[in-house]
Amino acid sequence: MSKQEQPAQEKKPTKTYQFRLYPTHKQELLLENWLLLCCETYNAALDERKSAYRMAGVSLSYEDQCAELPGCKQVRPDLAPVPAQVLQDVVKRVDLAFAAFFGRVEEGKTPGFPRFKSRFRYHSLTFKQFGNSFKLHVEGKKKRGKLELAKLGLVKMVLHRKLIGTPKTAIVKRAPTGKWFVNVTVELSVKDLQEKRLLPSDEAVGIDVGLKTFAYLSTEEEIANPRFFREDEVKLARAQRKLSRAPKGSKERDRARKVVARTHERIANRRKNFIEQEVNQLVARFGFLAVEALVVRNLVKNPKLAKSIADASWSMFFTRLVAKAEEAGRQVVKVNPAYTSQTCSACGHRQSMPLSVRVYECPQCGLVIHRDHNGSLNILADGLHACGRAGRVIPKAPSL
Ligand SMILES: [Zn+2]
Count of CB atoms within 10 A of residue 181's CB? 15
User: Strands 331-335 and 359-361, how do they pair?
Assistant: unpaired
Q: What average pLDDT score do residues 369-380 get?
A: 94
Contacts 24+ apart (CB under 8 A), 260-269: 260/236, 261/175, 261/176, 261/177, 262/177, 263/232, 263/235, 263/236, 263/239, 264/176, 264/236, 265/175, 265/176, 265/177, 265/179, 266/232, 267/232, 267/236, 267/309
pLDDT > 70? residue 311: no
Q: What average pLDDT score do residues 242-266 get?
A: 89
Q: How far is the CA of 364 from the centre of ligand 1 (A)?
A: 5
With beta carbons less than 8 A apart as the criterion, state whether 291 and 318 touch: yes
Residues 84-143 have pLDDT tens digits of 999 999 999 999 998 998 888 888 888 888 899 998 889 999 999 898 899 999 877 678
Q: What residues have their beta carbon closer than 5 A to ion ligand 1?
A: 344, 346-347, 349, 362, 364-365, 367
Q: What average pLDDT score do residues 44-53 get?
A: 91
388: left (phi over 0), alpha (psi -120 to 50) or beta: left
With beta carbons less than 8 A apart as the criterion, state whether 386 and 333 touch: yes
At 26, the pLDDT band (50, 70, 90 cuts) reads very high
Q: How far is the CA of 347 from the centre of ligand 1 (A)?
A: 4
With beta carbons less than 8 A apart as the criterion, state whether 134 and 147 touch: yes
Spatial distance between the Cα atoms of 49 and 98, rounded to a whole number of angstroms: 9
Q: How far is the CA of 362 from the centre of ligand 1 (A)?
A: 5
Spatial CA neighbour of 181 closest among 151, 153, 152, 160: 160
At 9, the pLDDT band (50, 70, 90 cuts) reads low
Q: How far is the CA of 366 from the centre of ligand 1 (A)?
A: 6
Q: Cα–chain-centroid distance for residue 145?
A: 25
Spatial CA neighbour of 374 closest among 389, 400, 392, 388: 392
Q: What pLDDT sits at residue 39? A: 96
With beta carbons less than 8 A apart as the criterion, state whether 207 and 290 touch: yes
Q: What pLDDT sits at residue 212? A: 76
Q: How far is the CA of 250 from the centre of ligand 1 (A)?
A: 63
pLDDT > 70? residue 390: no
Residues 177-226 have pLDDT tens digits of 889 999 999 998 888 877 777 788 889 999 998 777 889 999 999 998 88
Q: How many residues does the chain have?
A: 400
Mean pLDDT of the chain: 86
Q: How far is the CA of 345 from the centre of ligand 1 (A)?
A: 7
pTM of the predicted structure, to 2 decimals = 0.67
Q: How far is the CA of 359 from the centre of ligand 1 (A)?
A: 13
Q: What angle do CA 153, 159, 161 make, to 5 degrees?
A: 155
pLDDT > 80? residue 40: yes
User: Strands 288-292 and 204-209, how do they pair?
Assistant: parallel
Q: Phi/psi at 2 (nearest 5 deg)?
A: -75, 145
pLDDT > 80? residue 229: no
Q: What pLDDT sits at residue 1? A: 40
Which of the two residues, 331 and 3, has the higher pLDDT score? 331
Q: How far is the CA of 164 from the centre of ligand 1 (A)?
A: 49
Spatial distance between the Cα atoms of 30 and 4, rounded to a whole number of angstroms: 34
Spatial distance between the Cα atoms of 198 and 330, rounded to a whole number of angstroms: 8
> Please, is 49 exposed, middle or buried when counting C-beta atoms within 10 Å of its C-beta (0-12, 13-18, 19+)?
buried
Query: 194-198, 335-339, 396-400: which has the highest mean pLDDT?
Result: 335-339
pLDDT > 90? residue 37: yes
Residue type, 280: N
Q: What pLDDT sits at residue 304? A: 58
Query: Among the listed ranges 68-72, 238-242, 304-308, which one has the minimum average pLDDT value?
Result: 304-308
